[in-house]
Chains A and B, each alone.
Chain A
Amino acid sequence: MKEPILRTENLYFRYPTREEYALRAINIEIFGGEFVAFIGQNGCGKTTLLKHFNGLLRPTQGKVFLYGQDTAGIPTCKLASKVGYVFQNPDHQIFADTVREEIAFGPKNLGFDQSHIESITKDVLKAVGLEEYIDCPPFSLGKGQRQRLAIAAVLAMEPDILIIDEPTTGQDWHESIQIMELLRELNSQGHTIIITSHNMQLVSLYARRVVLMANGEIWMDGTPQRVFSDPDRLREVYIKAPMLYQLAHRFCPNADLSRVVTPEDLADLLYDQIYACRPASERGAV
């Protein structure tokens, strides 16, 4: 049986100065090669949970296991080699004079040798499409480029798991697609991708598993088709399903939406519905 690479066991978390728990009874397993999106309202605990995966936050109660090992007592700087974490605002991590130095910072901390750093810097910059900017000052890049630089800087540490907190915030559609395509490419290369997002359209297009959180708890966990085809549950937490699912639910409220992934699938479903409504004598004519 496949073992999860990340697992939480009855995780509870409370910020030291708060009385209420920010996370409650979180039991989740994440397997290698998954592309998981955490969705939910602001303040529902998405980022708080993800910060437990690389030790930035420690459970008040419960445990986090990485490759079966309890992460308690393992510092973030050690976990960082396995779990890369990209923050929402790339400007919170950019400090170097050049893109090259920015990328090399993490690998240097992990003790990679110089030649390896050189090669990996070029590789990750190529992967994110910034190789021509290698000697440029990072702050001269555009917002989308800085976001990709932040991903590259973490990628250069060769983590198996890549957590990206709201990768497309403040980006236009083109930049968002570029970043999500990059994540899909990394996922196809074997990286486990975990993101948080408010963009349901992108989540439905790219994630293969969606975790809906509300009030510090996991409400739903499943494929995008399963999560987005439950509008009543989504409405409770003020999440609007992507247009595709809204349409599907509107026109085919009783249909099984689990096979709706693309607009073509929806068209097929609608066709089937219309076809089923026609008198038996006319069905063969289509």
Chain B
Amino acid sequence: MSLFLELLETAKRDSPIHRLDPRAKAIWWLILIICPIIVTNPLILVALTAWIWLMTPVAGIGRKMYRVLIVIYPVMIGFIVITWPFFYRGKADDFYLVNWSFIHLSVEGIIYAIAMGLRIIMALTACMFFVMVTDLMDLTTAVGQIIQKFGVSYTFPLMILSSFKFLPEVSGDFLTIQESFRSRALDMDSGSLWERMRKLVPIAIPLVESTLRHASNIAIALELKAFGARKNRTFYRQYKMGPKDVLFILSGVVALGLCCYLRVKGVGTVDVFL
């Protein structure tokens, strides 16, 4: 959970990408998520992933993103490459390494698995990049401004924002409470799964108590700041998309257009290698 806190902190940095309109970054992110749905050609996926990585030094998050993804990448690739070939329904003329009972391991299956792995990797990289360059507070406020124009109350985005802010607090409390019970000689690392779950019961009580107290404090704080006094609230910070934001969205649109074009041309899928 400390990783989650770390990501939230990184999103508050100051860089040319951090300064972009959060809505522009959200649109760009959505576009980048669609790309690996359209194309499965490993080369295109690698190029798109590399493009995102090239932007990380600009945002000043290169090292941090590397430290997070270096752990996740091998797990994702390993899981997909290991499991996918067994489910790949190949053709009769595929080059089979193992073809027995339900196990059909072919070279084509492995290539297909790598392509699938790269899809996940690309999407994951885009998601991580978005999370590390977009302050959730900014994003929620910007979205809140838009939806308020359509008569939707700000309560909804505030609820989402509160849950994001609440989660690290609860997790921090959980870790502290866990430590306090360890300090009272509660051995939480040994025993069967059932025994370990039973040991969590005493922890649940102070955790629920502190969570309720936190929630109550937030509610009181909101009321004290006159939240809900008017149907529509005003915003201190006004978001307006500038040329840089439009350019950023356009870069995503171009990437998406290119993916569509390559797909139409028949080189967008992994099939070109099979």
Contacts and interface: CB of A to CB of B under 8 A. Distances in A.
Contacts of A15: 2
B206 A91 contact: yes
B113 to A, nearest CB: 31
Interface stretch (A77-85, A128-136, A213-221): A77-85
Contact of A93 (B5, B63, B177): B177
Interface in B19-75: 63
Nearest to A17: B6
Contacts of B82: none
Given A17-B2, A17-B6, A91 B210 contact: yes
Contacts of B63: 19
- Label chain A's interface by main secondary structure: loop
Contacts of B183: 54, 56, 76, 80, 84-87, 93, 154
A93 B179 CA distance: 9
Interface residues of B, number: 25
A95 B2 CA distance: 25
Contacts of A110: 185
A92 B185 contact: no
Contacts of B169: none
Contacts of A124: none
Interface centre among A16, A19, A109 (most CB of B within 10 A): A109
Nearest to B213: A91
B205 interface: yes
A105 interface: yes
A59 interface: no
Contacts of A109: 184-187
B184 A87 contact: no
Contacts of B186: 77, 105, 109
B123 to A, nearest CB: 23
- Label chain B's interface by main secondary structure: helix
A92 B182 contact: no
Contact of A81 (B179, B185, B203): B185
B185 A77 contact: yes
Interface centre among A77, A94, A96 (most CB of B within 10 A): A77
Nearest to B181: A93
B189 interface: yes
Interface centre among B180, B181, B186, B210 (most CB of A within 10 A): B180
Nearest to A108: B185
B61 to A, nearest CB: 12
Contacts of A54: 183
A127 B209 CA distance: 28
B203 A16 contact: no
A179 interface: no
B173 interface: yes
A87 B176 contact: yes
Nearest to B1: A17
Nearest to B184: A106
A105 B182 CA distance: 11
Interface string A177-189: 0000000000000
B182 A80 contact: yes
Contacts of B184: 80, 93, 105-106, 109, 153-154, 157
B247 to A, nearest CB: 32
A75 interface: yes
B3 interface: yes
Contacts of A84: 183
B228 interface: no
Nearest to A15: B2
Contacts of A76: 182-183
A86 B247 CA distance: 55
A269 B26 CA distance: 69
Interface string B192-205: 00000000001101
Given A17-B5, A95-B206, 18 more contacts: A17-B2, A19-B63, A56-B182, A76-B182, A80-B184, A85-B180, A87-B179, A91-B209, A92-B177, A92-B180, A92-B206, A93-B180, A94-B206, A106-B184, A106-B185, A109-B185, A153-B184, A157-B184
Interface of B: 2-3, 5-6, 63, 173, 176-177, 179-189, 202-203, 205-206, 209-210
